[in-house]
Amino acid sequence: MNQQHHKLSNVTHLVQGELLGSADFLVQGLASLEQANENQISFVNGQKYLPQAILSKAGVLIITSDLQKELPKTKQYIIVDNPYLAFAQLTHAFEIQGQHSGIEETAQIHSSAIVADSAYIGHYAVIGENCVIGDATRIQSHAKIDRGVEVGKNCFIDSHVTITGCAKLGDRVRVHANTVIGSEGFGFAPYQAKWHRIAQLGSVQIGNDVRIGSNCCIDRGALDDTILSNGVIIDNLVQIAHNVNIGENTAIAANSGIAGSTVIGKNCILAGACGVSGHIKIADNVTLTGMSMVTKSILESGTYSSGTGSFESKQWRKMVIGLRQLADVPLTKLVKRLDHIQTQIESIESTLKMRK
């Protein structure tokens, strides 16, 4: 009950595909090959899914021209070049969205705030002094848009999001529930064994088409701004510290953290739970695999990894003991000793030969 219904001709038009089937067929949802019923549409994401496609009960399959030839003509198809992209596009057609405009009467909007007529402001949302909310932007219930924050057009800000620190968001930005943007960075001056708070005066600049998941923290800068460039996508529970600068279209998966003032390039991919130290630089097109630990700048694009992998625990304990030995027994010295011994043996052997 969680999806819209559409005529097959419309669906085909949306993905600019070619239809092999009945234009009036009513598509009642998108589903995986295994789960789809005869009223639903599914997609074949490459050769290896052909066996599942043959077994699928889906009423319609999105597929390439080549692969379709290997399937029975009795089914309905939408022919496209890139079935996965077509699927991504179609999910939007089948998504049920909430209300699109209007201001709930329980919302608190400061008299100086500018809210577009086409925006939606949910129950108990609070929009502060001098805020700007752009066209067709939807602010869900209980969101807090603090003084001086600006949100562009066609944005989606989910419930319990806090945006403060005079952050500026571009267009088509999506911020999921309970995320905090523009809160104070972790800046303290140590003096006489105490921590002296440095009030954070910078802000946050978020470009267009940025996506931030749930329960994330994007801190405001200390003096200059924290920056997320156009097209950056961020998963849940991610920490972006003050003055971090992330390049275009970089993706950061859940539980990762980037420490202060680090600069990350364009088109990078950080898998889950990566940790990146502060004040370093990551080049463009760098991929970090899950749980990577980066303490120094990475200046060449490529794929980088950390960690030991997983061990059965008894074996792991032996390995950890081995690591302690490894600190004290440099392997290169062992190799040198072996080389030296080899030389000694060869010398002995030649001595023995001479004396034969």
Question: Which residues, 72 to 91, sit near a second copy by CB under 8 A?
Answer: 82, 84-85, 87-89, 91
Cβ atoms of 200 and 220 within 8 Å: the answer is: yes
Cβ atoms of 130 and 112 within 8 Å: the answer is: yes
Q: Pairing state of beta strands 26-27 and 6-7? A: antiparallel
Does residue 122 belong to the site contacting a second copy (CB under 8 A)?
A: yes
Does residue 288 belong to the site contacting a second copy (CB under 8 A)?
A: yes
Q: How many angstroms separate the CA atoms of 153 and 119, rounded?
A: 9
Does residue 273 belong to the site contacting a second copy (CB under 8 A)?
A: yes
Choice among 123, 196, 242, 279 that is catalytic: 242
Of residues 16-55, those binding a second copy (CB under 8 A):
29-32, 35
Cβ atoms of 129 and 145 within 8 Å: the answer is: no
Q: How many angstroms separate the CA atoms of 241 and 185, rounded?
A: 6
Of residues 138-177, those binding a second copy (CB under 8 A):
140-142, 144, 146-148, 158-160, 162, 164-166, 174, 176-177
Tell me which stretch binds a second copy (CB under 8 A): 16-24, 51-59, 61-69, 305-313.
Answer: 305-313
Question: Least distance from C-beta 245 to a second copy, angstroms?
Answer: 13
Tell me which stretch binds a second copy (CB under 8 A): 15-23, 49-57, 66-74, 237-245.
Answer: 237-245
Q: How many angstroms separate the CA atoms of 198 and 201, rounded?
A: 9
Q: Closest CB to a second copy among 76 and 285?
A: 285
Query: b/e string for 95-124 if b means 16 or more Cβ within 10 A?
Result: eeeeeeeebeeebebeeebebeebbbbbeb
Question: Least distance from C-beta 57 to a second copy, angstroms?
Answer: 14
Is 196 an annotated catalytic residue? no
Does residue 200 belong to the site contacting a second copy (CB under 8 A)?
A: yes
How many positions of this chain bind a second copy (CB under 8 A)? 145
Does residue 178 belong to the site contacting a second copy (CB under 8 A)?
A: yes
When binding is defined by CB under 8 A, the residue of 5, 92, 100, 279 that contacts a second copy is 92
Question: Least distance from C-beta 22 to a second copy, angstroms?
Answer: 23
Does residue 211 belong to the site contacting a second copy (CB under 8 A)?
A: yes
Q: How many angstroms separate the CA atoms of 22 and 32, rounded?
A: 21
SS3 at position 313: helix
Q: How many angstroms separate the CA atoms of 339 and 72, rounded?
A: 66
Expressed in angstroms, the distance from the first to the final Cα of the chain is 93
Catalytic residue numbers, as ranges: 242
